[in-house]
Structure 1
Amino acid sequence: MKLITFDPFRTLGTPGVRYIKPEHMNQHREELAGADWLLFPAYWQINSLHYVLKKRIFPSLSSYHLGHDKVEMTRALQTACPEHVPETLITSSDSYGISQILDLWNFPFVAKSVKSSQGMGVYLIENRQQLMDYAERESVLYVQKLLPIVRDLRVVVVGDEIVASYWREGSGFLNNVSQGGRVRTDLPVPDNALSLVSGLARYLDINHAGFDVAVVDGHPYILEFNRLFGNTGIPDLPKAIAAAMNRYLLGPEPPSSSDTSVSA
């Protein structure tokens, strides 16, 4: 099995991987063409690797395209499972879009930058001036119903497995661990939330993502998923992710060698 990675940190636990810098991709075209898997390319690489070289990439093409920004992601989720997506409006940041929000939405609500993660670019909009300030910064307005929750659920999917699920609880508006939220493993995780994520990931061919799920009165809502997610939520999570990725890429019995070569 020939594996080439463009992100050595995401493949530390995968044996026999060769690292090539993304910007040196075309200097190693023959090696890329002979590889079985190309791992963690940058977004700008995937068209050339998939459509031109016809190579298998990991994460999957769906993970890249559907997870590229919140607009693409939400529209896909609204089509796949509309009853599990919070009420969301995506509109322009011009006067029409602002008027549309003011006419149809009541304060407070959540507003997001379409390309953001780790809780950054997420705002609680409580009045007209905050909406105007948000619209001034963004070219696309993405507003979402504020759900009555004090914590949300992170479900990690790697390959065709759920490798971790845990609650995140913040002291304020955001629950992200990177924003000061704490991990809660002492609370039960609803089976219907896990079933929703597992079925959706298989249906959409998303094989490397951290799904954020809100549960309101027992009903799960997908807030978003992140193709490149943090792995510091629980002890040994990086090892569990690496093991699941190896099973997916290499089969149940990967080689014992752990050597990784590096190309400049």
Structure 2
Amino acid sequence: MTRPLVIGARLRRYPQFTTLGPRPNLEDYSPQELELIRRAPVVFYPTEALAPQLAALGKRLFPSLACHLLEGDKIKQTTLFKLLGLPHPRTRVFYGSQRRDIAGHFAFPFVAKKPRASCRGRGVYLIENQAQLDAYLADNKVAYIQERLPIQRDIRVVLIGFEPVCAYWRVPPPGEWRSNVAQGAVVDFAGVPPRAVELAARLARAADLDEVGVDLAMVDGQALLLEFNVKYGRQGPALMGLDVVDYVAQGILAGKLPPPRE
């Protein structure tokens, strides 16, 4: 039996897979390795560098092409939520001279984010006055502005194969308003509302996000989508006793991943 082919390094500890590892140039792979890539019907963890090209060749990917195309881009994710008609905080993107109109759409305080390539709570700002807004605009040509929600914590739902495998509250430490575990947030598994988990699963299935961490907020009993990450943190699941890498590996070896197409 041919071993599953992996490009990224995530499953490298498992000898049951052929892990090639990411390389800066395609020529860095040997002819034999290139042939393995060409022949593989499914490529696991193809990396952002190769995912679009492999999908164009008709390869099945895990995580999916959608995961790779939307990872780390808050503008694309917000557009997706709106197209799907799924609940999301009021958000606008301002380009060029449009940035002068921010105050006409949002009253202080509001949240401003680096629209692309931000994670672990970095690139997220609470804007309370014009001076803070000016400082944010000086570093961001495109402004991603979102209403500040009346919340003290948010929710992370991890889904693998579209199925929720872990859900927990993220509670910021005293003096910190961001709820990222990387910023010191505490994980709480008690009382996560089923409607939040259901909304995360609805998003994952609708958008073909087959391995993802979805962040949500609860406002007045309603679940709202915040964003999602394919490169989600593993600390929260580990505190529940879940090794997500092993979960994925065993799912692949059992033929459950990628999930069947409906």
Distance 1:237 1:17 in 2: 24
Unaligned runs of 5+ in 2: 258-262
Per-residue deviation, 1:36 = 3.6
Matched, 1:22 2:22: yes
Distance 1:97 1:252 in 2: 47
Q: Percent identity?
A: 34
Runs of 4+ in 1 over 6 A off after TM superposition: none
Structure-1 residue corresponding to 2:11: 11
SS of 2:75's equivalent in the other structure is helix
Distance 2:183 2:244 in 1: 24
Structure-2 residue corresponding to 1:145: 147
Structure-2 residue corresponding to 1:57: 61
Aligned-residue CA RMSD (Å): 2.1
Query: Is the 2:6–2:45 Cα contact (8 Å) retained in structure 1?
Result: yes
Q: How does 1:217-236 map to 2 (within 5 A)?
A: 217-233=220-236, 234-235=238-239
Unaligned runs of 5+ in 1: 254-264
Structure 1 residues 81 and 12, CA gap change in structure 2 (3 angstroms): farther
Q: What amino acid is the match of 1:64?
A: H
Structure 1 residues 7 and 252, CA gap change in structure 2 (3 angstroms): closer
Structure-2 residue corresponding to 1:121: 123
Which structure is higher in RCO with an 8 Å CA cutoff and minimum separation 6? 1
Per-residue deviation, 1:209 = 0.8
Distance 1:99 1:204 in 2: 33
Structure 1 residues 64 and 138, CA gap change in structure 2 (3 angstroms): same
Structure 1 residues 175 and 119, CA gap change in structure 2 (3 angstroms): same
Distance 1:181 1:165 in 2: 15
Distance 1:236 1:17 in 2: 26
Provide, for residues 122-142 of structure 1, a one-character-per-residue CA deviation record: whole Å limited to 9, x for no partner.
000001111111111012100
Distance 1:100 1:249 in 2: 53
Structure-2 residue corresponding to 1:179: 183
Q: How does 1:187-198 map to 2 (within 5 A)?
A: 187-198=190-201
Structure-2 residue corresponding to 1:47: 52
TM-score normalised according to structure 2 size: 0.87
Query: Is the 2:47–2:68 Cα contact (8 Å) retained in structure 1?
Result: no
Per-residue deviation, 1:2 = 3.2
Structure 1 residues 37 and 237, CA gap change in structure 2 (3 angstroms): farther
Q: How does 1:19-168 map to 2 (within 5 A)?
A: 19-23=19-23, 25-26=26-27, 27=29, 28-51=33-56, 53-82=57-86, 84-92=87-95, 94=96, 96-115=97-116, 116-168=118-170
Per-residue deviation, 1:12 = 5.0
Q: What amino acid is the match of 2:16?
A: G
SS of 1:85's equivalent in the other structure is coil
Structure 1 residues 12 and 21, CA gap change in structure 2 (3 angstroms): closer
Aligned residues: 247
SS of 1:22's equivalent in the other structure is coil
Q: What amino acid is the match of 2:18?
A: R
Per-residue deviation, 1:243 = 2.0
Structure 1 residues 198 and 13, CA gap change in structure 2 (3 angstroms): farther
